[in-house]
Structure formats: C-alpha cells, structure tokens
Amino acid sequence: MSEPLVLGIETSCDETGIGIVRGHTLLADAVASSVEEHARFGGVVPEVASRAHLEAMVPTLERACETAGVRLGDVDAIAVTAGPGLAGALLVGVAAAKSLALSLGKPLYGVNHLAAHVAVDQLEHGPLPDPCLAMLVSGGHSSLLRVDDVTTGVTPLGSTIDDAAGEAFDKVARLLGLPFPGGPHIDRSAREGDSVAIDFPRGLTSRRDLERHRFDFSFSGLKTAVARWVEAREASGEPVPVADVAASFQEAVCDVLTRKAVDAAVTQGIEDILIGGGVAANSRLRAMAVERAEAKGLRVRVPRPGLCTDNGAMVAALGSEMVARGRTPSALDLPADSSMPVELVLR
Ligand code: KG4
Ligand code: ZN
C-alpha cells in the first residue's frame, strides 16, 4: 500500500498555506500571503488577516491539488494548525479543515504550529533524529525545545520573555526606514555593513540572568538600545549608517540565539540542532549556528527558507507523522486554540 496522502492547512498568521504530502514526500506547497496588506501598518492586523484567509482559502486549495496532481477525494487525512496564533485567523483554517474532513469522511488532526515548524524538516532532510534540539525563531515565537517525538514529546526549555526574534528584526527595520517585514531587508543590508561597528547588548547573558533565564531570550532591551543609538545620531545631525546598524544588531541577535541553542544541546546531551521559523532564513544565523555547533561536534539542520516561513507543507508533514505513528485523530468539535501550549502537539 502506498503511503498516506495528507493535506495540511495553515492560517495562524498572515499566510494561507495548503500543503500536500505523501509520507515524507512534498507534492505541493501553495501559499497566499496577505503581508502586503499589512505593510503600511508595520505589523499584521488580525482582522485583515482573517478576511484574507477567507478569500484565499478555496483558490489556494485548488492550486495545491492541481500542483500535486490529486483530487480532494484522494486525500487520506486532513491536518490543520489548531494553535497557537491569531484567534480569528486560526478559525478560518480550522473551519475549512472540519468541512473537508466531514465531507470527505477522512480523519482530522488539529496540530500545534510550533511542532509543525519542526516536522517540516523531514520533507527535506529525512526522519528527525530523536532527540533533537529545536530552535524556533519567527515573528511570533522564539523558543528552544527538546523534541523526543514530534507527535507527542515536545518539552520547552526556554522562550522569549518579551519580543520574538522576528519582531525585533521588524521593529529595528522600521527604525532604519526599511520595509516590512524587516528581516530579509536587515539581512541584505547587513552584508554591506560592519558587524562589530556598534556593541549592542546581548539580552539575558549576564551571569545573574543566566541563573534564572539560561535558555530564555529577551530582545526588547536590544531594540531600545538600537532606537537610542539611532536617535542620538539623528540628534547630532549625522547620517545613520544603516548597514552598520543592521549588521551590528543582527550580530547581537544571532550571537545570543546560537550561544543558547548550543548550550542547551550540550546540556541536554543532544547532538542535533534544528532551526525553524521565518528568522531561520537569516544568512548570518545559519552560518553562525553551523560554525558554533561544529566546534562542539554537533550537527545543524535548517530547512530551505521557503519551508522555514509559515506554510501548509509543515502542517501536512506533521499530520503525516501523526498518521504514520497511529495517533488518535481530533474530534470534529476541534477548537481553534490561540494560546495552545507547545507541549500539546495534537488537540
Ligand atoms: O515564520 P514566519 O513566516 O511567521 C511567523 O510565524 O511569525 O516568520 C516571519 C518573520 C518576520 O518577523 C520576518 O522579518 C522574519 O521572519 N524573517 C527574517 C528573515 N526572513 C524572514 N528575519 C531575519 N532574516 C531573514 N532573512
Ligand atoms: Zn510560524
């Protein structure tokens, strides 16, 4: 018998994603983003995102089926992001998934968005090593997780206590007059700049902070430090060296992220680090993570950038794993859970 065909639906933020996989093979990954509608607000507007999901759902679904060369009737299971995320946005995906599961008579899996960011790597690099240490960094989350089994055993080791890493990128980009979302623009600008030009603070790395927050992150102090630095420059009438600020800021973020990820892996006795979420697309983060991990004899896995940002393939990948491991499907009264805890992989 061939491996199960699983359709995954993602609507937790501003991307309407429909992915289709067969086992670990990716057949289609259709994404419609409302990012441009939010750009002038400098951040995602929940109501705008929900409306955009409603409009994009059916066309994106059709596009995914066409790319994969399958009919809806061929699908063996439906997976959907049940949380965490924006409540109204999640609701659109969950409602669509329930309708499909009910009308097709197929099992429904309401899965955790964070675990899906981990599971997606299987589509590119094969089965996940277990255990592995996952660092998820995006506009909405920054966490270090111990993953023993992506369908049941995800243990949080630390997370951000204020801004998410991607949020810091977006806010600093805004300060520098770069477009939203700022991460890719900072990444590009930083290549022309000097990463040691300005010594920005590394949050939660002092000896005292490490006692309580060894694996936690804080980026709000860094963001404020950049704002003060830029303001002082402007007040003195000097031009702001955008590339140097971008490079020095990026260096500070990547330094803390990779330092803590490697420390967590070593402490947990884990040899594989997996990085996911939109910020994993950052070129400096990738390079620094590999360099620091290899120095400790650890391996790093990072999915290609298109699979790091939010998409439906990641949800399909996790759903496929649920089917493969015989997990009990969700009930048809599955709720959208905007603050779904990371330990709860399947709702
Ligand atoms: O995972 P994602 O698509 O959506 C969320 O769940 O948030 O991540 C989006 C975030 C944004 O904050 C964006 O600025 C950031 O990922 N990002 C980057 C890069 N590409 C995207 N940050 C730094 N460097 C990049 N190259
Ligand atoms: Zn995400």
Q: How confident is the model over 159-195, as pLDDT tens digits?
A: 999 999 999 999 999 999 999 899 999 999 999 999 9
pTM (predicted TM-score): 0.94
Give the pLDDT confidence score for residue 40 in this predicted structure.
Answer: 82
Q: Is the pLDDT of residue 44 over 90?
A: no
Q: CB–CB of 10/290 below 8 Å?
A: no
pLDDT tens digits along 96-144: 999 999 999 999 999 999 999 999 999 999 999 989 999 999 988 899 9
Choosing from 15, 279, 307 the residue with most ligand 1 atoms within 8 A of its CB, the one to mutate for a pocket test is: 279
pLDDT tens digits along 60-77: 999 999 999 999 999 999
In this predicted structure, which of 1-5, 91-95, 297-301 has the lowest mean pLDDT? 1-5
Q: Is the pLDDT of residue 1 over 70?
A: no
Q: Is the pLDDT of residue 224 over 90?
A: yes
Average pLDDT over the chain, rounded to whole?
96
Give the pLDDT confidence score for residue 279 in this predicted structure.
Answer: 96
Token code pair at residue 298: 């650890």
Residue 162 has φ and ψ, to the nearest 5°, of -145, -105
Q: How far apart, in Å, are the Cα atoms of 150 and each of 1, 109, 147?
A: 24, 14, 6
Q: Which residues neighbour 111 within 8 Å (Cβ) at sequence distance 6 or greater?
A: 79, 80, 81, 82, 315, 318, 319, 322, 345, 346, 347
Give the pLDDT confidence score for residue 85 in this predicted structure.
Answer: 96
Protein residues whose CB sits closer than 6 Å to any atom of ligand 1: 13, 138-140, 166, 169-170, 181-184, 187, 277-279, 281-282, 309-310
> Which residues have their alpha-adjacent CB atom under 5 A from ion ligand 2?
138, 310
pLDDT tens digits along 268-297: 999 999 999 999 999 999 999 999 999 999
Alpha carbon nearest to ligand 1 atom 14, residue: 183
Alpha carbon nearest to ligand 1 atom 23, residue: 183
